[in-house]
Structures are given as structure tokens and as C-alpha cells.
Chain A
């Protein structure tokens, strides 16, 4: 491997209570790439992201971000180490305003000027949010909420972005917009993205690499184009 991985997961085992969900998962993601994480419902995709961000404590294995092992650290510390996790479903705090949601994203950074610069950056990139900044986040549409949580994740200036089914429940036009946004973030900000998707086709369309989980193990990992052209794999696991 020519370049050091921005995010490397080595033989991670994790689960809930005594029940194992991930059985030795390994991934390596180069800086500035999108890795699509695919697989059926219940395959363990969400659990994988939760394990990376510390919400689930791995029983075994290493989670390296820029070479530092973050396995078994607290979620707060992992977030501060540059991993932003946009959880499945609605991660917006509906009781807070749009601006408060955004400010919250930068609270782990030091310095008022850094924080306010992050806020004006966010408004510049997402004028839609600037227009609605005083509004309660609960009043936003599903697509707007997805934009908001991604924008909030960016407020912390992360190195790695974990996205859990960002297209879930969105209209097709919104899905395209969100995918476009993810691509832009890779190209312009240089983020390393782990993109969990049910919608394998659109995820592979923007991803550099992909991996397929089944019952907590990796059954395939390759360039996105290779996965997308593997008819057997598509029929078996990806459903398109």
C-alpha cells in the first residue's frame, strides 16, 4: 500500500451484551476516498460505525485513525480525534434551532474565533441553512435535516466522516443531492468517508472502494467499479 490509511480497522469483534455482531471485520480507507459499506439489513453496518465511533465497545481488534488506535476509547474522545459519526435516522436535535445544532458541532473545538469561522463557513457552503438558522430543527424537511447533520459534522473539522444511510427516507432528487454533497466533500475538503447505504447502486456510483458485510463478516472488498460489475455479488448481496 503506497499511502498510509486514514482509517484502518483490523479484525474488530463487537456485539451487544453477549451477542456477537461483528466477527473480525477489517477495512482500510485511504485519505480522501469514499468507501461504500454495503450489505443487507442486519448485516452489522450500523454496528460497525457505532464501534468505530465508540458507542459500542469492541471486544477485540484495533481501530486506527491516522495511525492512532482509538479502540475502546470513549465516544467523546474519538469525536475529538477527528471522527464524525452521523448516525442512522434523525440525528438532528429537533428541540434546538438550526444554528444551535451547528454550534453544537463545533463545541469540541477550542477558541471562539475558530468556532465562529466554522459557522460562517457552514452558512457559505449551505445557504439553505443560513436562511433557516433561527428555525427549530424539528421544522425542517427530511432532506434539510440530512444536510444539517452533515453540516454539523463538518463543524468539528473531522478527518473521517461516518455516514449511516444518509439517503434513508429521502425523495430520489434529495438522494442525488446528498450523494453529490458527499462527493464534493471528498473532492474539496479531502474527507475520508465511510458511507453505509442500502441503496448500493448510488453509493457505488460515487465511491472509490466498497465492501460488503454479511452476518458481521466482510464477504467482498474491492474498487467500487469492480464490485458494481460483479453480477453474482450484485444479485446475492446488493439487490440490483
Chain B
């Protein structure tokens, strides 16, 4: 029972990170039908930026803020320079180009920062919390992770639902052709979508890296799990992405806890295969948002 509680809460905490990656993928997929395979690489890169800022200023929160800002800028920059020219070409184009971006970012990070594993500080203490004598399996840092992702997701939801920018984003995602006929400059909207995706990726990067170390490939496995979460959620649905992330986090936490943690990625692969076999469009995709 004690173990079960620890695994559950720990799984939710990790799942929030998958959720953040999933959200970043969904943001781009909805608007452009591009799956951004470089999302993990972008998150790795912005985490290096945070690492430098923290090293030089000594302030974790300065690094945190700079990473998020860097994520916004990097997302927008890549959309304008590299991704935009692939639009309207064959479907393989954007896949290969974003893979190219991933490996480019990893290579550049290796050139600038070297390949060695760097430790990255957590937001708060990583000492396990207890209620009375019962260990919860999570730390203050985990609580912050969950809270930060939830707050960001909530903010995203509010922007989507209640602002004109959000209306532009949603309309562009659902019907880009109609939307531009109404005078909305959808190019800018798509850039904004990438910027927001960069922000969520950056958030995931700084939150997860304390437990993985920082190196050029450090986000690869987090990315594929975030991708799995997004697929579980249906790729089109932000809410589905968050639920998918938490679900995957908890399931993998049980699997890792009870079966051994070496094969977590293999379990993730199995989960992905299972979901794709049963419902290729995801567990939470609403039929309304998928007009295939």
C-alpha cells in the first residue's frame, strides 16, 4: 500500500513532464499538421541556456525564466527560418526537416558545451515528503513540477478560450483556409504556436533535467515518452495530452516500480504500440476535432 502510494504520486509528478512535452507537440500539430521531432532537442538546448545562466548568476529562478524566454524565441525562430519553407511540400519533408533540427541542436550543444553529463539543480528540495511517518514518494521539487505544468496548462487554456489571440490560434488550427479568408494573418499565428510550444518544451526541460543530468541527448527519452503521451491523448487535444501524460507517468511508474526500472522505455514502447493498435487516433480524441 505504501509502495503503491509512492508509485502513484511519483508517477503523477513525472507524468506532468510528459504532459508538458505532449502539450508542446499538440500545439504545433493542431496548427500545422507537423509533428515536431525537434521538441526534445529544443528543450535540451534551452536547458543548457538555463544551466549557463544559473552557473553565472547563481540564481535558479533567473535560469528558469531565461529558459522559458529562450524557448519562446527558439520556437518562433525555427518556425520562421526552417519549418515555414517546408509547408505545402510532401508529407515526409517536415518529418525529415524536424529530425534534422533535432540532430543539429544536439550537435551544436555538443560543440558548445561538450558531451559530459552536467548536473542541473532542482527547483526545490528533492527530499521525499512525509505525512506523519508515511513517505509520499514525492518531494517539494516534484510538487513544484506538477504545479508549474498545471499552472502553465491552465494559463494556456484561459488564453485559448477567452482571448482573441486564443481565438486566432484555435481557428487557425481548425480551419486555416477559412481563417485567413477572414483577414487573420495565419503565418503569425503559426509562429506564435511554435513559440508557445517552445515555452512548454523549455518548461519540461528545466523541470526534468535534475533527475536525468544534462547532456546533448538528455531529452531523447523524455521526448519519446512525451510523444507517447500526446498520441494517447489523440495529438489534437491539449486536455488529452495532459491526461495522456499523467496516465503514462503513472503506468510507467507502476511498471518501473514493480518490474524494474531499466526497461521503462521498453514499457513505454509497449504502451505506444498498444494504444496505436487499439485506437490509432488516441484514447481521448473527440470525433469533432478530427475531420479526417
| Alpha-carbon gap, A108 to B167, bound state (A) | 12
Q: What distance in Å separates the Cβ of A142 from its nearest Cβ neighbour in chain B?
A: 17
Q: What distance in Å separates the Cβ of A148 from its nearest Cβ neighbour in chain B?
A: 12
Q: What distance in Å separates the Cβ of B27 from its nearest Cβ neighbour in chain A?
A: 16
Contact (Cβ within 8 A) A76 B164: no
- Proximity bits, B151-180, A CB within 8 Å = 1, else 0: 000000000000010011011001101111
B288 at the interface (CB under 8 A from A): yes
B181 at the interface (CB under 8 A from A): yes
Contact (Cβ within 8 A) B184 A87: no
Residues of the A chain whose Cβ atoms lie less than 8 Å from the Cβ of B174? 93-96
Q: Output the nearest chain B residue to A109 by Cβ-Cβ distance.
A: B183
* A108-B183 contact given A95-B289, A138-B288, CB 8 Å threshold: yes
* A107-B167 contact given A76-B185, A76-B186, CB 8 Å threshold: yes
Residues of the B chain whose Cβ atoms lie less than 8 Å from the Cβ of A79? 180-183
Contact (Cβ within 8 A) B164 A108: no
Contact (Cβ within 8 A) B184 A53: no
Residues of the A chain whose Cβ atoms lie less than 8 Å from the Cβ of B170? 95-96, 100
Contact (Cβ within 8 A) B182 A55: no
Chain B residues 253 to 292 lying within 8 A of chain A, measured CB to CB, are 288-289
| Alpha-carbon gap, A105 to B164, bound state (A) | 11
Interface majority SS (helix, strand, loop, mixed), chain B? helix
A91 at the interface (CB under 8 A from B): yes
A156 at the interface (CB under 8 A from B): yes
| Alpha-carbon gap, A211 to B257, bound state (A) | 74
Contact (Cβ within 8 A) B288 A156: no
| Alpha-carbon gap, A156 to B183, bound state (A) | 8
| Alpha-carbon gap, A85 to B186, bound state (A) | 16
Chain A residues 124 to 176 lying within 8 A of chain B, measured CB to CB, are 138, 152, 156
Q: Output the nearest chain A residue to B186 by Cβ-Cβ distance.
A: A76
* A100-B167 contact given A94-B288, A95-B174, CB 8 Å threshold: yes
From B177, B178, B183, B289, A107 is in contact (CB under 8 Å) with B183
Contact (Cβ within 8 A) A107 B181: no
Q: What distance in Å separates the Cβ of B107 from its nearest Cβ neighbour in chain A?
A: 36
Q: Output the nearest chain B residue to A86 by Cβ-Cβ distance.
A: B181
Contact (Cβ within 8 A) A104 B182: yes
Q: What distance in Å separates the Cβ of B286 from its nearest Cβ neighbour in chain A?
A: 9
A80 at the interface (CB under 8 A from B): yes
A103 at the interface (CB under 8 A from B): yes
- Proximity bits, A56-81, B CB within 8 Å = 1, else 0: 00000000000000000011100110
* A87-B178 contact given A95-B170, A104-B171, A108-B184, CB 8 Å threshold: yes
From B164, B167, B168, B181, A75 is in contact (CB under 8 Å) with B181
Contact (Cβ within 8 A) B182 A95: no
Contact (Cβ within 8 A) B171 A96: yes
- Most chain B CB within 10 A, of A94, A95, A100, A104, is at A104
Q: Output the nearest chain A residue to B171 by Cβ-Cβ distance.
A: A104
- Proximity bits, B170-207, A CB within 8 Å = 1, else 0: 11001101111111111000000000000000000000
| Alpha-carbon gap, A100 to B174, bound state (A) | 13
Contact (Cβ within 8 A) A152 B171: no
Contact (Cβ within 8 A) A107 B288: no
From A87, A94, A100, A103, B181 is in contact (CB under 8 Å) with A87
From A84, A94, A104, A152, B184 is in contact (CB under 8 Å) with A104
* A103-B180 contact given A93-B175, A95-B289, CB 8 Å threshold: no
| Alpha-carbon gap, A76 to B178, bound state (A) | 10
* A76-B180 contact given A94-B288, A95-B289, CB 8 Å threshold: yes
The list of the 5 closest CB pairs from A to B, nearest first, reads A108-B183, A79-B183, A80-B183, A95-B174, A75-B180
Residues of A within 8 A of B (CB): 53, 55, 74-76, 79-80, 84-85, 87, 91, 93-96, 100, 103-105, 107-108, 138, 152, 156
Residues of B within 8 A of A (CB): 164, 167-168, 170-171, 174-175, 177-186, 288-289
For the complex with contacts A79-B181, A87-B181, A95-B289, 16 further pairs of A-B residues with Cβ separation under 8 Å are A53-B181, A55-B177, A85-B181, A87-B178, A93-B171, A93-B174, A93-B178, A94-B174, A96-B167, A96-B174, A100-B167, A104-B171, A104-B182, A107-B182, A108-B182, A156-B183
